[in-house]
Structure 1
Amino acid sequence: MAAQDRANPDEGDVYLLFILESVPIPVINEVLDKAYNETGEYILRLADEVSIANQETSLGTETPINSDWTSPFVGKDIREVATIVESAPQPLNQQHFAVLDLAVYQQTRKVMVYKIVDQEPQGIPCTVEETSLHLLGYDRGTWAESWKNWQEKGRSL
């Protein structure tokens, strides 16, 4: 996975939100709204070809999204997603991203937050509200400890 030339791949305060399976539009809107309500900014950008290429805005995706929107990443695996993230243009973060897994969200109200570490995506469940705080730097410096706690004790973010 070759990253685009950028001094720090962790630059950028807009994070891609990937949908890898069929998820109802109201659920996607709910997640985007919860993330917005916590920070007052749209920091999650719903991933598709246009949103990834768009360097004109530094914002995430505003709701409501178009009712006929579909993810071009349905059926992709997390390594394919990590490759896309690593080569994302500014203002998108090239190291952290989120995935909305419908079953996880319905059961726990959490999304998966990922960090690419040594070219390997590591994911930890996180409440949508806390996702904003985590991605904006509140816990990013403690990822190694959080990853260990998730792996060894099942503690999510």
Structure 2
Amino acid sequence: MANKDLLDQLDLPIRQKSLAMLACVAQEIKVDMERRISELGISLLQVNLLHVLDKAPNGQLTVNQLKDNMLDETSNVSRTLNKMCDSGLVKKTRSENDQRVVYITITPQGSKLHKQADKLLLQYENPLNEKESKTLYKLLRKF
């Protein structure tokens, strides 16, 4: 857990303190999310990839389409997809028309694991009420 109380003691303008607090809270939430899915043996990146594939038409996208539909940019997608392929969560198929194009398809095992991970992640208790959540969302959209 981040020592958020320490921020109150720092001699910083409130705009910088608020950004530091945002970073602390984001890190705490990420650690909590990773802890929740650790029993499944997958990472948040893998959950993100499975989510995008599970929502795709036919559960299939090219690697570039997959990257374009992810919440955050990361350079580990190809390596992570190889690991997921080895685990039987996704399969790769080269295009018959263009061998440079690789299609990634979610497997039934990958879809099942995605649903299990989502169920665990959705158990996170947001301490904000509906109105506060809407305000926070609106404020964060300014970044």
Give the TM-score taking structure 2 as reference length.
Answer: 0.29
* Higher relative contact order (CA closer than 8 Å, sequence separation 6+): 1
Whose radius of gyration is greater, 1 or 2?
2
